[in-house]
C-alpha cells in the first residue's frame, strides 16, 4: 500500500495544505511522502461525516458493531510488516515492542467486541410501572446508556498503535457507538494513515457507514483546537502532555456547550519503598525499578519518576544498586527530537533545583538520544520545591530520602494526582504505614503492591487515570473495559410501548443481558402490570 500523505475523510483521501515530512528519529532523516496538514474546512468535513454517520451507527446491533471491531483488528494485522516497519522508522521503537503493541491494540479491539456481545455494559435499569399506585399511578421507567455522538481522538506519540488511530480511545468510542475523528500525531503520520485505511477497509466490508472514522493531520495547534471547538464534537480523548491536554480542556470549557475532555497527561508515578521490604530485597527491588525506569527509553505515562524511602541501610543498598544499574544502561533513541531536548532540559532543571545526580548513563551520539539518569534529594527539599515533583518524560527517576515515616507521609501528601502509586513492603510494612496507603488512595487511580507501574494490563478491572493533573476527569479510565463509559450518557424512556423501546429495554430480554429490574439484577423477562 502506497502512502498518500493526505487527510482521510470518511475513508477517502481528501487532500490537505501545508506539507510536512515524517522524521526518522534514529538519524534525523526525513521519510517520504509529504503529509498534508488539515484546515478548518477539513475539520468541518470530518465532523459532518461523523455526525452524518452517527444515527445509523448508533443503531447498529451489538453483534454488527462487534463484527466491525474484530474486522478492524484483522485489517490491522493484515497490514503485516509494512505497518511495523513504518512505525519502527517513524518512532525508533524496537520491532519486538511494536509487535507486542500491535497485539495489545488488536486485543483491546477484540475485548470491546466481546463486551458488546455480552451486552450488559449498557446498564439497563427497569422500574416497571404500577397503574394501581395511589395517590398517583407509578410510571414505567427504563434507562440505559446511549452513545454521546462524534468524538475527537488525539493520538499519542508514545504508543503509535495502542494509543493512536485505532488505539484505546478510538476502540472504546467505536464500541460505544460513537464515530471518531482522529488527529494523527505528527511524529508518526505514515503509521496513522496505514491504520486509518485499515479502519476504513473494515467499515466497508462490515457495512458500517464510512463516516465513523476520519483522520486529520495537524502540525500547529489550530487543527486540534478546531476539532475541540467544533459544534458537532461531543467528547474529546487525549493522551499527551499536561500543557497540551490542559489547553484542550480549557478550549472545551469555554465552548457555548461544554463537552467532556478526557485528557490523560501522565504523572510521576511514585514508588514507596518500605523498610522491611528493603531489608529483605533491596537489590531485587533496584533491579526491577531500573528496568521500569529505563524500559522503552522511559517513554511511558506510568514511568516511575519518583522513588521514596526512609533513610537507613536498606535504602543505602537500594541506592547503590539502582545507581549502578541505571548508570550502565545504554542511552536510547527517543520518539522525536523535541522530546529528547525536553528530557535533557528537565534533568538539568532538576539538578539546578538541588537534586543531586547519582548516576547517568554514558551519552551517545545522535540527535534524539536520552541517557538514563538517577537523581536524588531529601524529602524536605522535595516537599518544599514543587518543581522537583514535575514529570521529566524519559528514563529519569528521582530518589527521595525521608528521615522517618512521618516525613515520608508528608512527601506523599505533597504529591499531585497520579496515574499510579506503588508500594514495596511486607504485610507488616503495610500495616505500619496504613496512613500512607490512605493518602495514596486519594492521590492515585491505581495502587500497586510489590510491583512496578509500567505494564498496564488491559482488562475489566483496570483503572488508568487519576486525580488532576494525571487526567482531567478522575471519574474515567483510558484503558480497560470500563473506558467505554467515557462516551455514553444515560437516557430513560417513560411509559413507552414495548416495540418503540431499544431492544435492551424491552419486556422480553432477547439479548440475554443482565438488567436491574425493580432494583434486582436479573436476566429474566419483565412482566408489565
Q: Which of residues 232-251 bind its own copies (CB under 8 A)?
A: 249-250
- Measure Cα distances from 153 to 15, 183, 224, 509, 521 in Å: 20, 6, 9, 34, 34
Q: Catalytic: 178?
A: no
**Helix (H) or strand (E) run with residue 264 in it:** strand 261-264
Quote the cell numbers at residue 317: 543498598
Question: Site residues for its own copies, window 259-318 (CB under 8 A)?
Answer: 260
- If the CB atoms of residues 216 and 285 are measured against its own copies, the closer one turns out to be 285
CA atoms of 295 and 94, how far apart (whole Å) = 11
User: Using the rule CB under 8 A, is 258 a contact of its own copies?
Assistant: yes
List 12, 29, 386, 521, residue binding its own copies (CB under 8 A): 521
Running DSSP on this structure, what letter comes out for residue 96? Answer: H
List 320, 413, 496, 507, residue binding its own copies (CB under 8 A): 496
- If the CB atoms of residues 220 and 518 are measured against its own copies, the closer one turns out to be 518
User: Using the rule CB under 8 A, is 414 a contact of its own copies?
Assistant: no
List 65, 86, 143, 506, residue binding its own copies (CB under 8 A): 143
List 345, 518, 525, 529, residue binding its own copies (CB under 8 A): 518
The nearest distance, CB 459 to its own copies, in angstroms, is 4
Q: Catalytic: 264?
A: yes
Binding residue count for its own copies, defined by CB under 8 A: 74
Question: Using alpha carbons only, what angle is made at residue 164 by residues 163 and 170, rounded to the nearest 5 degrees?
Answer: 85
The nearest distance, CB 452 to its own copies, in angstroms, is 10
**From 90, 193, 264, 391, active-site residue:** 264
Contact string (CB under 8 A) for its own copies, positions 419-458, x = contact: --------x--x------xx--xx-xxxxxxxx---x-x-
- If the CB atoms of residues 81 and 518 are measured against its own copies, the closer one turns out to be 518
CA atoms of 294 and 317, how far apart (whole Å) = 20
- If the CB atoms of residues 13 and 139 are measured against its own copies, the closer one turns out to be 139
CA atoms of 247 and 224, how far apart (whole Å) = 10
User: Using the rule CB under 8 A, is 417 a contact of its own copies?
Assistant: yes
CA atoms of 38 and 215, how far apart (whole Å) = 9
Q: Residue 131, SS3?
A: coil
- If the CB atoms of residues 268 and 339 are measured against its own copies, the closer one turns out to be 268
- Residue 517's contacts (CB-CB under 8 Å, 6 or more residues apart) are 125, 126, 128, 524, 526
Quote the cell numbers at residue 148: 454521546
Question: Site residues for its own copies, window 35-64 (CB under 8 A)?
Answer: 55
- If the CB atoms of residues 180 and 376 are measured against its own copies, the closer one turns out to be 180
CA atoms of 269 and 451, how far apart (whole Å) = 12
Question: Site residues for its own copies, window 465-494 (CB under 8 A)?
Answer: 465, 467-469, 472-477, 481-482, 488-494
Bond into 15 cis (ω within 30): no
Q: Where are the alpha helices (DSSP H) in 266-398?
A: 275-294, 313-327, 337-352, 379-384
- If the CB atoms of residues 365 and 497 are measured against its own copies, the closer one turns out to be 497
CA atoms of 161 and 101, how far apart (whole Å) = 7
Contact string (CB under 8 A) for its own copies, positions 155-194, x = contact: ----------------------------------------
Q: Which residues are catalytic?
A: 264, 301
Amino acid at each position: 500500500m502506497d502512502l498518500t500523505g493526505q487527510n482521510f475523510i470518511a475513508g477517502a483521501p481528501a487532500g490537505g495544505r501545508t506539507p510536512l515530512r515524517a522524521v526518522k528519529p534514529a538519524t534525523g532523516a526525513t521519510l517520504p511522502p509529504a503529509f498534508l496538514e488539515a484546515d478548518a474546512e477539513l475539520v468541518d468535513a470530518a465532523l459532518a461525516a461523523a455526525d452524518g454517520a452517527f444515527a445509523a451507527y448508533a443503531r447498529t446491533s451489538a453483534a454488527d458493531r462487534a463484527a466491525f471491531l474484530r474486522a478492524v483488528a484483522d485489517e490491522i494485522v493484515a497490514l503485516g510488516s509494512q505497518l511495523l516497519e513504518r512505525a519502527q522508522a517513524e518512532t525508533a521503537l524496537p520491532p519486538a515492542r511494536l509487535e507486542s503493541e500491535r497485539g495489545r491494540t488488536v486485543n483491546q479491539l477484540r475485548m470491546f467486541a466481546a463486551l458488546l456481545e455480552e451486552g450488559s455494559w449498557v446498564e439497563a435499569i427497569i422500574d416497571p410501572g404500577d397503574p394501581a399506585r395511589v395517590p398517583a399511578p407509578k410510571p414505567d421507567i427504563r434507562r440505559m446508556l446511549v452513545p454521546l455522538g462524534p468524538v475527537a481522538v488525539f493520538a499519542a506519540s508514545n504508543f503509535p498503535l495502542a494509543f493512536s488511530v485505532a488505539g484505546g480511545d478510538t476502540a472504546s468510542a467505536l464500541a460505544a457507538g460513537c464515530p471518531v475523528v482522529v488527529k494523527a500525531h505528527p511524529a508518526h503520520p505514515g503509521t496513522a494513515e496505514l491504520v486509518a485505511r485499515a479502519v476504513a477497509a473494515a467499515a466497508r466490508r462490515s457495512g458500517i457507514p464510512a463516516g465513523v472514522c476520519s483522520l486529520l493531520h495537524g502540525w500547529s495547534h489550530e487543527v486540534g483546537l478546531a476539532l475541540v471547538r467544533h459544534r458537532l464534537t461531543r467528547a474529546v480523548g487525549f493522551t499527551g502532555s499536561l500543557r497540551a491536554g490542559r489547553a484542550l480542556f480549557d478550549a472545551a470549557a469555554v465552548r457555548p456547550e461544554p463537552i467532556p475532555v478526557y485528557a490523560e497527561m501522565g504523572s510521576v508515578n511514585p514508588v514507596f519503598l518500605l523498610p522491611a521490604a528493603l531489608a529483605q530485597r533491596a537489590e531485587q527491588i533496584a533491579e526491577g525499578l531500573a528496568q521500569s525506569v529505563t524500559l522503552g527509553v522511559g517513554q511511558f505515562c506510568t514511568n516511575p519518576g519518583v522513588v521514596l524511602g526512609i533513610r537507613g541501610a536498606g535504602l543505602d543498598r537500594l541506592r547503590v544498586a539502582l545507581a549502578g544499574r541505571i548508570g550502565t544502561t545504554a542511552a536510547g533513541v527517543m520518539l522525536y527530537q523535541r522530546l529528547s531536548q525536553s528530557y535533557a532540559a528537565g534533568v538539568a532543571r532538576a539538578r539546578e533545583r538541588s537534586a543531586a545526580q547519582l548516576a547517568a548513563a554514558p551519552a551517545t551520539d545522535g540527535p534524539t538520544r536520552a541517557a538514563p539518569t538517577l537523581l536524588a534529594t531529601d524529602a524536605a527539599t522535595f516537599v518544599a520545591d514543587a518543581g522537583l515533583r514535575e514529570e521529566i518524560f524519559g528514563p529519569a527517576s528521582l530518589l527521595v530520602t525521608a528521615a522517618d515515616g512521618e516525613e515520608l507521609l508528608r512527601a506523599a501528601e505533597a504529591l499531585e494526582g497520579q496515574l499510579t502509586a506503588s508500594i514495596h513492603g511486607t504485610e507488616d510494612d503495610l500495616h505500619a504505614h496504613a496512613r500512607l496507603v490512605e493518602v495514596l488512595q486519594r492521590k492515585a487511580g491505581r495502587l500497586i503492591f510489590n510491583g512496578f507501574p509500567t505494564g498496564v494490563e488491559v482488562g475489566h478491572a483496570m483503572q488508568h487515570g487519576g486525580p488532576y493533573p494525571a487526567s482531567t476527569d478522575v471519574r474515567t479510565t483510558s484503558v480497560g473495559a470500563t473506558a467505554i463509559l467515557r462516551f455514553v450518557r444515560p437516557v430513560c424512556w417513560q411509559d413507552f410501548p414495548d416495540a418503540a423501546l431499544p431492544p435492551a429495554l424491552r419486556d422480553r430480554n432477547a439479548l440475554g443481558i443482565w438488567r436491574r429490574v425493580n432494583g434486582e439484577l436479573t436476566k429474566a423477562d419483565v412482566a408489565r402490570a
